[in-house]
């Protein structure tokens, strides 16, 4: 199976090239030329396997220039019980939500307590194998722009992986104290971390510019280095995410929650549109999905897009209590547009050009109709996010993080407005302990301790739940990175970190 660029149909690359390169030369994203098709019998067969077995089958169908052993090795190394707490890295908690039953797909049992681990624990294995196939002998330089969770998950995935170096940029005031501490204390010989004086979109745009800067590219080439991306624009990030939607469906069938063939809805707290897009791919491969519920926080650019067909990033940027969704340019939306236009790369390229030049674009009526047929968009502000955390805790004894609560709230809005009773899987994307302060204020009126770790302990004592071990260990970890730079100093920061200028 080969891959095209969303902005140029004549670009055709192999799976390993798509993963090694991350982004296409003209700025487009790599998309599969076709999708494997699964019948209900195929899904039944997946249901008989464990998570790793499901991952091997699904990823193998996409990575046609990998051997089965290479895929098997990658999957087995990534999804261990040691790293994810059990043999199922993506378990479901079933709860009631009003008079509806919902399935919370918990994607945060990995080493950094956020769903990014689901992809970033396996990406380094896929990437180093891809680089070996396509650019043998080169060292991969991973550049990451993060709104918090990706950075830490990428650092943890790539630390001390031979043949790789990783540089992470995060917005100085755009991540939670816990996220900052996770990154500042990162271990590993091949890692660098820098805070930029700007927001996440500045960081992401800055990284994209560095990727496509020919001078920097040449400098890397001279030093036998090659840029690659661990951001969710990399196909190697998206692919592992398709697996858990199939896996959740299989688990629900096995646990008697649904019958094979029943449709489900999927609700996802959305930022860069990677997670929800993975469920869209799953549906197009044969997974019975009825509706995609796209949940945003106050940065509700996607809600407006789904409702009006106009994507307009010219708006106030809010720093919210769900920082991993504080995004105004959702990169992976470009892939959805490509598929909704049946692969019209020229059209996608022109919309992306409008977005970068004028800050907005409007899709045709036909695309708008397709979009609103499949997707339902809604948003939830900080106050309602906290209310939702409070009521989930009070009524269901379920402790939810801020991002997950946004999705639960928007799902409730959807259910109320449409009356749709389809069983719904809600992606639960982070441990509540990553956002202890917001979660605590949502469940108690008592005065809070000042220190982040005192709040973590308080949350644990109050709710009688356990602090994830890697977060608990941060308390006494040594800080290694405190570097800050301006947005326009990002290119120089990269060259300095690599000791090449």
CA nearest neighbour of 323 among 223, 187, 203: 203
Q: Hey, which residues does 425 pair with through a beta bridge?
A: 103, 266
272 binds ligand PLP (CB under 6 A): yes
Alpha-carbon distance 444 to 197, whole Å?
A: 33
Verify binding: residue 429, ligand PLP, rule CB under 6 A.
Answer: yes
> Closest CB to ligand PLP among 114 and 442?
114
Rank residues 240 and 269 by Cβ distance to ligand PLP and give the closer one.
269
Interacting span for ligand PLP (CB under 6 A) from 32-40, 268-276, 374-382, 460-468: 268-276
Q: What gap in Å lies between CA 447 and CA 452, rounded to an integer? A: 14
Listed residue (127, 43, 55) closest to 87, CA to CA: 55
Does 198 help bind ligand PLP (rule: CB under 6 A)? no
400 contributes a contact to ligand PLP by CB under 6 A: no
Q: Is the torsion defined by CA of 80, 87, 267, 31 positive or negative? A: positive
Written as six digits, the tokens of 413 are: 């809005």
Question: In the numeric block, which tokens belong to residue 349?
Answer: 């390229």
Out of 122, 430, 440, 442, the only residue in the binding site for ligand PLP (CB under 6 A) is 430
Q: Which stretch binds ligand PLP (CB under 6 A): 193-201, 206-214, 273-281, 302-310?
A: 273-281
**Structure-block tokens of residue 487:** 């947005």
Q: With respect to ligand PLP, which residue has the nearer C-beta, 56 or 335?
A: 335
The answer to the question of residue 149 lying near ligand PLP (CB under 6 A) is yes
The answer for residues whose C-beta is within 8 angstroms of residue 423's C-beta and 6 or more apart is: 101, 102, 103, 252, 257, 258, 262, 264, 265
114, 161, 191, 389: which one binds ligand PLP (CB under 6 A): 114
Sheet with 225-229: list strands edge to edge: 225-229, 139-145, 164-171, 191-196, 484-485
Confirm or reject binding of residue 154 to ligand PLP (CB under 6 A).
no
Residue number, 149 or 201, with CB nearest to ligand PLP: 149
The 3-state DSSP class for residue 130 equals: helix
Stretch binding ligand PLP (CB under 6 A), from 78-86, 117-125, 267-275, 391-399: 267-275
**Nearer residue to ligand PLP within complex by CB, 185 or 297:** 297
Among 105, 125, 11, which residue's Cα sits nearest to residue 63? 125
Instruction: Show the binding pattern over residues 115-134: x = contacts ligand PLP (CB under 6 A), - = does not.
Output: xx------------------
452 belongs to the binding site for ligand PLP (CB under 6 A): no
Check residue 273 for interaction with ligand PLP (CB under 6 A).
yes
Kindly determine how many residues on this chain lie close enough to bind ligand PLP according to the rule CB under 6 A. 17
**364 CA to centre of own chain:** 28
Catalog residues that contact ligand PLP under the rule CB under 6 A: 114-116, 149, 232, 269-275, 324-325, 403, 429-430
């Amino acid at each position: 199976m080969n891959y095209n660029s969303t902005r140029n149909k004549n670009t055709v690359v192999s799976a390993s090239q798509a993963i090694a390169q991350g982004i296409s030369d003209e700025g487009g994203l790599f998309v599969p030329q076709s999708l494997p098709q699964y019948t209900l019998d195929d899904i039944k067969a997946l249901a008989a396997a464990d998570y790793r077995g499901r991952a091997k089958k699904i990823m193998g169908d996409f990575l046609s220039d990998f051997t089965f052993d290479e895929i098997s090795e990658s999957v087995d190394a990534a999804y261990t019980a040691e790293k994810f707490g059990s043999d199922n890295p993506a378990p479901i908690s079933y709860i009631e939500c009003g008079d509806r039953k919902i399935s919370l797909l918990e994607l945060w049992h990995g080493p950094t307590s956020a769903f990014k681990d689901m992809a970033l624990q396996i990406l380094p294995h896929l990437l180093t194998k891809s680089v070996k196939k396509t650019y043998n002998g080169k060292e991969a330089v991973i550049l990451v722009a993060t709104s918090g969770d990706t950075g830490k998950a990428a650092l943890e995935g790539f630390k001390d992986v031979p043949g790789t170096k990783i540089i992470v940029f995060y917005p100085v005031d755009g991540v939670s104290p816990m996220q900052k501490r996770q990154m500042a204390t990162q271990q590993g010989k091949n890692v660098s971390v820098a805070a930029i004086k700007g927001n996440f979109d500045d960081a992401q745009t800055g990284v994209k510019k560095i990727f496509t800067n020919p001078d920097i590219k040449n400098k890397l080439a001279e030093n036998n280095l090659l840029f690659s991306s661990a951001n969710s624009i990399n196909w190697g990030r998206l692919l592992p995410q398709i697996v858990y939607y199939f896996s959740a469906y299989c688990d629900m069938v096995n646990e008697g929650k649904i019958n094979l063939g029943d449709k489900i809805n999927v609700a996802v707290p959305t930022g860069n549109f990677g997670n929800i897009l993975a469920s869209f791919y799953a549906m197009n491969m044969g997974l019975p999905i009825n509706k995609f519920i796209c949940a945003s926080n106050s940065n509700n650019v996607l809600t407006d897009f789904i409702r009006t067909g106009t994507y307009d990033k010219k708006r106030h940027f809010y720093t919210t209590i769900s920082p991993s969704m504080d995004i105004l340019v959702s990169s992976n939306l470009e892939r959805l547009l490509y598929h909704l236009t049946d692969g019209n790369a020229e059209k996608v390229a022109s919309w992306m050009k409008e977005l970068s030049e004028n800050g907005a674009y409007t899709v045709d009526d036909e695309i708008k109709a397709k979009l609103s047929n499949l997707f339902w968009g809604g948003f939830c502000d900080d106050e309602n996010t906290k209310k939702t955390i409070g009521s989930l805790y009070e009524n269901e004894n379920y402790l939810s993080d801020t991002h997950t609560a946004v999705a639960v709230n928007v799902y409730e809005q959807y259910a109320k407005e449409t009356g749709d009773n389809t069983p719904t899987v809600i992606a639960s994307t982070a441990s509540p302990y990553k956002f202890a302060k917001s979660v605590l204020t949502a469940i108690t009126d008592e005065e809070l301790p000042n220190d982040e770790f005192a709040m973590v302990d308080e949350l644990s004592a109050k709710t009688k739940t356990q602090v994830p071990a890697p977060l608990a260990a941060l308390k006494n970890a040594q800080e290694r990175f405190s570097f800050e730079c301006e947005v326009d100093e990002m290119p120089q920061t990269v060259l300095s970190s690599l000791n090449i200028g």
